[in-house]
Structure 1
Amino acid sequence: MQGENSVQNELFERAKRFQENNPIVSFADLKNNNLCDQQFLDPVWKISSQKNGESAFSNNLLHTLLYVRNICKLSFNTIEGIEACSAKSWLAQEHNPERNLEGGGIMTVIRANHLEKSAVNMSCVWGPSYPALEGENAGKPFSATGVSLISHPRNPYAPIMHLNIRCIQVKDGNKVTTWIAGGADLTPMHNFEEDTVLFHDAMKKVCERNSNIANYEKYKKWADEYFYIPHRKEARGVGGIFFDFVKIENEHDFSLLLDVGQYAAKAYAEILSRRIELPYDEELAEKHLYWRGRYAEFNLVYDRGTRFGLMTGGNHEAIFCSLPPRVKW
């Protein structure tokens, strides 16, 4: 018992250090933070560079996405207590040569003691023909970049967490339309009310900080409707927020993407510190594998991000990172 308490206390301390060392940062102050890569050293900068040497994306957008990716990586490493993330770059032309796409991305995967399989992926692609789910933009030149996170803890009491943030631009002659999309949601097998409250409170703060374009009640309802498995007639998890096709005209609105990432990462680190060392038996572990099947079904059949990634010629290994490492039906 003393040993278990010692491990649990260490987890609490790690989560506490993560919170204290990484206070919420505003979009205006983002470039003063090392996690946004002020030195332009990350491979993403080269991946996003066009043939003329100019970036396909604004620096402010890439700094925002890099911060989110890096704060999520840091949260995973902090919880595990080791540098457990491995990164791998990919290029669109090499991965999918039959598509006339440029750019690529970086897969960052962790397979460790507590986090059986987690990933934080960032992609930056552009091309001459947008494969729109929204018909009015089909066939137009486009660029799309984003960060996606998925975490499948080993412990059945620790919830799955998913977040996605992305920005898409479509050109129609001299007109450029920009929109952002994303969200974050929690999927526990065993619902601890205090975890659900913590996560929803975090998402509410995200919307309050970005009230010029975000509405918590609307985005929460959107998540409840979106994260639903029709053939099972059940929700996928306890929700969070979800938004899509939010048109923006000011780069300051990237603040919504920034806040989704940093608030979700901080809330999830605290939740993991509470759950990943709870004792469980083989019966519950087996039940956990069957329960994960629901998550796989949703991602393969209904998830818009999966469909968009495949339609835009994305890296299928990165796209299917969202699937659980082990699952049963």
Structure 2
Amino acid sequence: MTDNFDDRKRTASAWFRQLRDRIVAAFEGLEDSQRDGPFAALPAGRFEMTETRRRSDDGSDAGGGLMSVMRGGRLFEKVGVNISTVHGELGERAQAAMAARKGIPGMKEDPRFWASGISLVAHMQNPHTPSVHMNTRMFWTPHAWWFGGGTDLNPALEYDEDTAFFHKVLEEACAPHDAGYYPRFKEWADEYFYVPHRHRARGVGGIFYDDLNTSDWERDFAFTKAVGEAFLPAYQPLVEKRRTTAWSKDDKQRQLEHRGLYAEYNLVYDRGTKFGLETGHDATAVLMSLPPLASWP
């Protein structure tokens, strides 16, 4: 692949930062407007921002990102919105995994890579308010490029109407780009966000896609932006709807056990977690998705 992707890399990286800024502002706005419930007397939560760095094997700079985490808010018990743009050379394990998964030749001879994206996970104070995950990313090697990402809803206490609403917004976001994207990527999410050792899904699904390269970078980037831009319209109304619902001790216990399921999935199966740790990115940022408290039956 001989195309010069420098401008496209900068464009994608800048957009992930812009999306991060919009989501952080929206979540802090939700904190400000939370006036009811047992945590309403707390100061409104704010994101703490920390720069992250990746170092290559020889100790040279290999990019980094911005970790933004809010803890102990009125509404959000823990939420992280991270962005990163990293580069370097893939180690042998990552090379083998990439070559096997994508059938990319030449990785051993030229293992350079570049990756940029946004990753978000929210864990809520109220067990009736669903947790959620979202990420979008661009990946480049000298041999290929692609986009990936998606979002899925993870309620501890499920409401059918909330699930239907979340999926409807995602379907409407996908439709202008390809009529087959939503059913295809919904099915992919159902398969990907499944916890085999528990014989169940980790939530109520959403969409997931990877390896997206139609040979039209502008088209694929436009779709990836649509996925990111659909996140707040799909999720924020559910937060506003459920955030003042009264909960019981049993409700909270169900939430903690559901978080245990979420933690198991992220530590055992999640591709992003494995890739981040294998390529030497900041471990605290990579493991940001883990809940603040969890329980196991």
- Please classify the TM superposition score into its range, dividing by the shorter chain length: 0.7 to 0.9
Distance 1:276 1:60 in 2: 36
SS at match of 2:122: strand
Extract unaligned runs of 5+ from structure 2: 33-43
Map 1:142-161 onto structure 2 (within 5 A). Answer: 142-161=113-132
SS at match of 2:189: helix
SS at match of 2:292: coil
Map 1:239-278 onto structure 2 (within 5 A). Answer: 239-247=205-213, 248-278=215-245
Please say which of residues 179-188 and 54-63 is displaced more in the overlay.
54-63
Distance 2:166 2:22 in 1: 17
Residues 136-167 of structure 1, C-alpha deviations (whole Å, 9 max, x = no match): 36442110111000000011111111011110
SS at match of 1:58: helix
> By how many angstroms is 1:251 displaced?
2.9
Distance 1:323 1:148 in 2: 12
Identity %: 35
1:233 aligns with 2:199: yes
Residues 216-266 of structure 1, C-alpha deviations (whole Å, 9 max, x = no match): 111000000111110110111110000011114323421222111121122
Please say which of residues 55-64 and 289-298 is displaced more in the overlay.
55-64
Assess, with a 3 A threshold, how the Cα gap between structure 1 residues 87 and 203 changes in structure 2: closer, same or farther. Answer: same
Give the partner amino acid of 2:24: K
Task: Say whether the 8 Å CA contact 1:71–1:265 is kept in structure 2.
Answer: no
Distance 1:281 1:199 in 2: 25
**Residue in 2 that maps onto 1:67:** 18
State which of 81, 86, 95 in structure 1 corresponds to 2:48: 86
1:327 aligns with 2:278: no
> By how many angstroms is 1:278 displaced?
0.8
Extract unaligned runs of 5+ from structure 1: 1-53
Assess, with a 3 A threshold, how the Cα gap between structure 1 residues 190 and 279 changes in structure 2: closer, same or farther. Answer: same
Assess, with a 3 A threshold, how the Cα gap between structure 1 residues 159 and 103 changes in structure 2: closer, same or farther. Answer: same
Distance 2:154 2:148 in 1: 20
Residues 28-69 of structure 1, C-alpha deviations (whole Å, 9 max, x = no match): xxxxxxxxxxxxxxxxxxxxxxxxxx9686332123212221
Please say which of residues 236-245 and 258-267 is displaced more in the overlay.
258-267
Assess, with a 3 A threshold, how the Cα gap between structure 1 residues 186 and 120 changes in structure 2: closer, same or farther. Answer: same
Residues 69-112 of structure 1, C-alpha deviations (whole Å, 9 max, x = no match): 1221122111111561121112213xx66566611010011111
Assess, with a 3 A threshold, how the Cα gap between structure 1 residues 83 and 231 changes in structure 2: closer, same or farther. Answer: closer
Map 1:113-262 onto structure 2 (within 5 A). Answer: 113-129=74-90, 131-132=94-95, 133-135=97-99, 136=104, 138-139=107-108, 140-172=111-143, 177-211=144-178, 215-247=181-213, 248-262=215-229
What TM-score, normalized by structure 2, do the two folds share?
A: 0.84
Please say which of residues 271-280 and 248-257 is displaced more in the overlay.
248-257
Give the partner amino acid of 1:222: W
Distance 2:270 2:135 in 1: 12
Residues 274-305 of structure 1, C-alpha deviations (whole Å, 9 max, x = no match): 11211112222123212211000000001111
SS at match of 1:285: helix
Residues 103-125 of structure 1, C-alpha deviations (whole Å, 9 max, x = no match): 10100111112100001000100
Distance 1:98 1:194 in 2: 52
Distance 1:276 1:98 in 2: 48
Task: Say whether the 8 Å CA contact 2:53–2:281 is kept in structure 1.
Answer: no
SS at match of 1:314: coil
SS at match of 2:178: coil
Task: Say whether the 8 Å CA contact 2:13–2:85 is kept in structure 1.
Answer: no
